Copies of this chain bind each other. A is one copy, B any other.
Amino acid sequence: MAKARYHHGDLREALLDAAEALVRERGADGWSLREASARVGVSPSAAYHHFGSRDELVRALSEVVLARLGSHLRAAMDATSGHGAERLVACGRAYVTWAVLDPAVARLVFRGGATEPQSAVSPHPHDVLTTELDRLADTGLLPPQARPGAEFVVWAAIHGLAVLLIDDLVHIDDRRDVELQTERLVSATLNGLAQETAPPADRPLPRTAHTQRVAQSQDAGPSPRTFSP
């Protein structure tokens, strides 16, 4: 392979791959830029022609993996023959199982924080959830008054279980038990939402970090990113 070449060819991609492998081997924080560069066979400073900093590498990797997770979720749902709620349960199961099977990478991605607004993380897991809940509302399985913002309730539940597991705050030995627990969680959440009557008039609508430009053009005012304590 083009090893002795002065120009690498596709160093950017190679660094992303090496970083991902290192995360998997040594944990989300147990690796260095220099190590990834060395593994690719390149000097440490070469990386700075493709990423402005180590953090930028991490963000780029996060976006790649997040998009992969998105299509994984979609595929898991489509592989289900079930109707209605079963698809959403499959989605949650895929989400949690994915995190548990690749905990280091999951930690990195979930902790990566907000991705760039213009970044094309597609399909974003949140969007997958959103379209599925739309489907449930159309089917009538989810009453219309419970639909707005329901994706955040479901996402919080699923994400919470995944994070509790990969951070070792909760421990489940068997993989099958992880799935059972996830199914219970999603079912309970969905049933709870279905039971909702009229929402309060001022129910808040959260925003995802990967907001698209469309939403930006609507509200001109600068949206504060922090609370005033």
Contact = CB atoms under 8 A, between A and B. Distances in A.
Interface of A: 100-101, 107, 110-111, 113-114, 126, 149, 152-153, 155-161, 163-164, 167-178, 180-181, 184-185, 187-193, 195-196, 199-200, 202-204, 206-209, 223-225, 227-229
Contacts of A224: 173
B180 A203 contact: yes
A209 B168 contact: yes
Contacts of A206: 170-172, 177, 181
Given A163-B160, A184-B203, A225 B101 contact: no
B200 A180 contact: yes
30 contacts: A110-B163, A110-B169, A111-B111, A113-B169, A114-B167, A114-B169, A152-B170, A152-B181, A155-B160, A155-B170, A156-B157, A156-B185, A157-B157, A159-B160, A159-B163, A160-B160, A160-B163, A171-B207, A172-B206, A172-B207, A173-B223, A178-B227, A180-B200, A180-B202, A184-B203, A187-B192, A188-B192, A188-B193, A191-B191, A195-B195
